[in-house]
Amino acid sequence: MKRQKEQAERNSRLTAMGEMAARIAHEIRNPLGSIELFASILQREIADENQKRLVNHISSGVKNLNHVISNLLTFTRQPKPVFKEIDLHKFLDNLLQFGEFLMDKNNIRLEREYYPSLLSAPGDEELLKQVFLNIIRNAVQAMHEGGVLKVKTGVGEKGRNDKPPHLDRRAFPTRCGGKYIEIKVSDTGAGIAKDNLDKIFNPFFTTRDKGTGLGLAIVHTIIESHNGIIEVESDVGKGTTFTILLPKTKI
Ligand SMILES: Nc1ncnc2c1ncn2[C@@H]1O[C@H](COP(=O)(O)OP(=O)(O)O)[C@@H](O)[C@H]1O
Ligand SMILES: [Mg+2]
């Protein structure tokens, strides 16, 4: 019941935030459109190169703002996944290649422990990309002095279950018809204080100076839209593991 209450609170906060963001975005977009239009007219009217450059700054500022607003909107809209069968190892390899530039300069070693045969599951690649990039980014940020980022995959089966930490998790194998996929991402970073563990998925919860607190809130809604589960285990000073469970077939 506690989990369900937390969930309901999280959802209503997200909904409220989404409505507010959509209204603000709308109010800002119209005048922004005018600024963009007039800047481009001005750009054509003036001959002086220096002045053209100044007008260019206005245009690119407007483009940036537009980008920020679109991002905010994707963050707050309820995700509607378009399901496709995904080859998970290929998907993860692509993603990790992309994430490597994050790890390189931070002295982080990448370890992979993949399930020995092909793993696939239905999912929305674009949305799942957001999930793992957010988790990896957080992991890298938690390892200031370097460390190991490990990605492990496996299959779960009803009956074979490892320690079920809560009811949600215990019901999960049945809910997804017996078979599910498990992806673990762990880091050897700072860890998360016990008091914060049940807050990290809340929108706007952050312990970072420049954090938005939106990353894991987005991750959570995306995993939910896939009928999956996400869990976290953490030891302060030792590291953190995120476990994602996804149904093997669409439910
Ligand atoms: N791998 C991790 N190690 C330690 N702390 C983490 C990790 N992932 C998330 N956190 C904690 O959860 C908070 C929320 O994360 P997130 O929603 O991504 O927002 P942000 O990254 O903007 O702070 C972080 O500020 C941090 O305290
Ligand atoms: Mg983050």
Domain residue ranges in the chain: 2-76, 84-247
Q: Are 139 and 103 in contact (CB under 8 A)?
A: no
Tell me, rounded to whole angstroms, the distance of Cα 200 from its chain centroid. 12
Ligand nearest to the backbone CA of 233: 1
Contacts of 89 (CB under 8 A, 6+ apart): 114, 115, 118, 119, 153
Ligand 1 centroid to 23 CA: how many Å? 28
Fold of 2-76: Helix Hairpins (1.10.287)
Phi, psi of 231 (to 5 degrees): -130, 160
Residue 158: what pLDDT? 59
CA 156 to centroid of ligand 1, rounded, Å: 27
- pLDDT above 90 (res 143): yes
φ/ψ bin of 4: left (φ > 0), alpha (ψ from -120 to 50), beta (otherwise): alpha
Q: Mean per-residue pLDDT for 28-56?
A: 91
pLDDT for residue 154 is more than 70: yes
Residue 109: the pLDDT is: 93
Reported as a pLDDT band with limits 50, 70 and 90, residue 165 is: very low
- Report the mean per-residue pLDDT for the chain: 86
| Rounded Cα distance, 192 and 232, in Å | 10
Between CA 87 and CA 181 the distance in angstroms is: 12
**The pTM is what?**
0.77
d(CA 72, CA 95): 23
Q: Say whether pLDDT at 167 is over 60.
A: no
Q: Which of the 8 DSSP states describes residue 236?
A: T
d(CA 206, ligand 1 centre) in Å: 6
Region of poorest pLDDT, from 14-28, 61-75, 127-141, 180-194: 61-75
Assess contact for 131 and 92: CB atoms under 8 A.
Answer: no
CATH number for the domain whose boundaries are 84-247? 3.30.565.10
Least-confidence region, from 183-187, 224-228, 235-239 = 224-228
Q: Is 55 in the pocket of ligand 1 (CB under 6 A)?
A: no
pLDDT for 101-123, tens place per residue? 777 778 999 999 999 999 999 99
Cβ neighbour number for residue 144 with a 10 Å cutoff: 11
